[in-house]
């Protein structure tokens, strides 16, 4: 079975502070990991995927297979980063099918 | 155009009503999905259509009936729903069901359903 765990429901940081949203996964094969973001009153959208190894809006995430983690990081938080962030996994046997974590609400305070 | 369009945005229905949610995309995608999202919970997969054929049904009750009339449209027919079915219903699409780096899943804004 595949499972995604996001231990923090809410993360509050000050503007300019570093951000780390935690994500751990459980999957026996080779998963694809994603971060999706949902800004207030907007649709769920892809932020980044581990296979692309890119930085989007200053965010990066590295897949650590040893620790089965895919934490999302940004060195300096901006007010516009406030949103709900979901970590998601796509397993090899399920095609392009996503299993989401419970989400972390990021609040960036001035 | 990278949009998935869902209608209606809001729907209130009684437990004996029959209603439908509609989803449309014009990206040429051949995989379309229905997800259900309860308040403060993550989206949960309900159905997947691949090339207009039902590919995945995640043990969803029969009071939810999906339909894919063509490659651009996806419907979710609702009948005899319960109050606990009240949720945000998300439609999504992707190029196909394959797992490869460019095969992004695009989500619609969702339809808020309230069953009274």
- pLDDT per position as a tens digit, B36-68: 999 888 999 999 999 999 998 999 999 999 999
Identify the closest residue of chain B to A93 by CA–CA distance. B99
Taking the CB of residue B41, how many other CB atoms lie within 10 A of it? 13
Q: Do A43 and B103 touch (CB under 8 A)?
A: no
Q: Do A98 and B94 touch (CB under 8 A)?
A: no
A98-100 and B44-50 beta bridge pairing: unpaired
Contacts of the segment A101-104: beta carbons below 8 A, 24+ positions apart: A101/A4, A101/A5, A101/A6, A101/A23, A101/B42, A102/A5, A102/A6, A102/A9, A102/B41, A102/B42, A103/A6, A103/A9, A103/B40, A103/B41, A103/B42, A104/A6, A104/A8, A104/A9, A104/A10, A104/A11, A104/A21, A104/A22
The pLDDT value given to residue A51? 78
CB A41, CB A25: distance < 8 Å: no
CB B89, CB B34: distance < 8 Å: yes
- At residue B103, does pLDDT exceed 90? no
**Rounded to 5°, angle at Cα A108 from A104 and B4:** 55
Q: Which residue has the tokens 């809006």?
A: A57
- Which is nearest to A57 in space by CA: A43, A44, A41, A46? A46
Residue A90 binned pLDDT confidence (cut-offs 50, 70, 90): confident
The pLDDT value given to residue A93? 61
- At residue B97, does pLDDT exceed 70? yes
Instruction: Tell me which residues of chain A have a C-beta less than 8 Å from any C-beta of chain B.
Output: 32, 42-46, 49, 51-52, 86, 90, 92, 94-103
Please name the residues between 39 and 98 in chain B that touch chain A, using a CB distance below 8 Å: 40-45, 48, 50, 55-56, 90, 94, 96-98
Q: Do A95 and B99 touch (CB under 8 A)?
A: yes
Take residue B19 and report the two structure tokens written for it: 């209603």
The shortest C-alpha distance from B104 to chain A (Å) reads 8
Take residue A71 and report the two structure tokens written for it: 């934490």
Q: Do A96 and B55 touch (CB under 8 A)?
A: no
Which positions in chain A touch B90 (Cβ < 8 Å)? 44
The predicted-structure confidence for A27-72, as pLDDT tens digits, reads as follows 887 888 999 999 988 889 999 988 777 788 999 998 998 999 999 9
Q: Kindly report the average pLDDT of chain B as a whole number.
A: 93
Please count the residue pairs, one from chain A and one from chain B, whose beta carbons lie less than 8 angstroms apart: 56
> Could you give the maximum distance between any two Cα atoms of chain A, in Å?
44
The pLDDT value given to residue A94? 60
């Amino acid at each position: 079975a595949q499972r995604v765990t996001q231990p923090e429901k809410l993360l509050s940081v000050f503007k300019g502070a570093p951000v780390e949203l935690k994500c751990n996964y459980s999957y026996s094969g080779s998963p694809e990991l994603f971060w999706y973001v949902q800004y207030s009153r907007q649709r769920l959208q892809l932020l980044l995927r581990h296979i692309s190894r890119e930085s989007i809006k200053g965010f990066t995430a590295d897949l650590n297979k040893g620790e089965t983690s895919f934490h999302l990081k940004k060195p300096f938080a901006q007010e516009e980063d406030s949103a709900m962030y979901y970590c998601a996994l796509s397993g090899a046997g399920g095609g392009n099918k996503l299993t989401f974590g419970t989400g972390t609400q990021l609040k960036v305070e001035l | 155009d990278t949009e998935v369009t869902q209608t209606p945005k809001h729907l209130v229905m009684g437990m004996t009503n029959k209603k439908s949610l509609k989803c449309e995309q014009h990206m040429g995608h051949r995989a379309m999905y229905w997800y259900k999202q309860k308040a403060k919970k993550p989206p949960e997969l309900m159905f997947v259509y691949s090339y207009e054929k039902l590919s995945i049904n995640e043990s969803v009750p029969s009071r939810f009936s999906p339909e894919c009339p063509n490659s651009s449209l996806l419907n979710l027919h609702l009948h005899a729903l319960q109050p606990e079915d009240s949720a945000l219903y998300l439609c999504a699409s992707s190029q196909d069901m394959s797992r490869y780096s460019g095969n992004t899943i695009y989500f619609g804004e969702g339809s808020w359903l309230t069953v009274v």
